[in-house]
Amino acid sequence: MTPRPFILTCAVGAFTTVGAMPSLPPAVAQDTIRRTLRWSGGGEHTLEVSNVNGSIDVAGDDRQDVEMIADRTIDTNGRDGLGATRRNITLDARESADTVRICADAERCSCDPKDRWPREWWRDWDSVHVDFTVRVPKNTRLRLCTINHGAITVEGVEGDFDVSNVNGRIDMTGIRGSGRAETVNGRVDARFAANPKAPSSFRTVNGVIEVVFPRDLAADLRMKTLNGGLYTDFDVTVLPSAPAVAERRNGKFVYRNDRFAAVRVGRGGPQITFEGVNGDVHVLRGDN
């Protein structure tokens, strides 16, 4: 079935003054967009939310549809203060059989890094901020991404997840799926209501990683940070380190070690990776 688009537009006009043009004061346009969206097919369902400046807040609920609220603020003076944004920004919400896709901008709608944000386009977004609040069925798969000025929070969603931020934290609670959570500048916090059944990973460059699992966790953990410590209160068995990988450089072999600490919790199970640079890594037992 062909996806059905809803194109939601807020046109931004130019402001001018008579005579010499002084620095313009901020001129702000605000709106709130509400939409109820549905998958047209059965089986596994995915929600994808692609943002640039702003937060994404997703919660699982006893429902069959997706409820979206988008709070948008646009500085109509634009990035350069000359009284105009560089183009109109449209918010796009699309339904299909297995995916509901919500995009802060219809022209750049992807959470795949190689498809996002060419340099000349980036400036158009400096003056646009969108905060998404979304309610979904609990078993929904998630693909969420943003870049600046906002956190990604997930609560009570049981499907698998692929979550990425750049300049902001990630906070996930009551989750039951498997997947990836990654940012650059910010904390990564996750609290599982049920242990992941497939390989999963948690990464940041500047921030603490803290992940809480149920007490019956059985998994193989790979943990690494450069400037920080590695901590767990699970009983673990140390696993052999991965063998060094040989590379040939300038006629010589150079051997590299990935520097991950490898430990097994319980009987072992899916591989769960924790990778930081500037911050501690905490893998903790929950109360359940």
Digit-coded pLDDT (tens) for 20-66: 444 445 567 788 999 999 999 988 999 999 998 899 999 999 999 99
Question: What whole-number percentage of the chain has pLDDT above 90?
Answer: 61
* pLDDT > 80? residue 71: yes
How far apart, in Å, are the Cα atoms of 280 and each of 151, 157, 180, 211, 224? 20, 26, 18, 11, 9
* pLDDT > 60? residue 196: yes
With contact defined as beta carbons under 8 Å apart, do 31 and 108 qualify? no
Own/partner contacts of 168-175, CB < 8 Å, gap of 24 or more, are 168/55, 169/207, 174/60
Provide the CA 211 distance to its chain's centre, in angstroms: 16
Higher per-residue confidence, 10 vs 127 = 127
pLDDT mean over 178-189: 97
Round to whole Å and give the CA distance between 216 and 178.
Answer: 16
The structure's pTM equals 0.83
Higher per-residue confidence, 15 vs 132 = 132
Round to whole Å and give the CA distance between 277 and 263.
Answer: 19
Digit-coded pLDDT (tens) for 73-92: 887 665 544 445 545 678 89
Average pLDDT, the chain: 83
Tell me, what's the pLDDT at 242?
A: 64
Digit-coded pLDDT (tens) for 7-16: 443 333 333 3
* pLDDT > 90? residue 234: yes
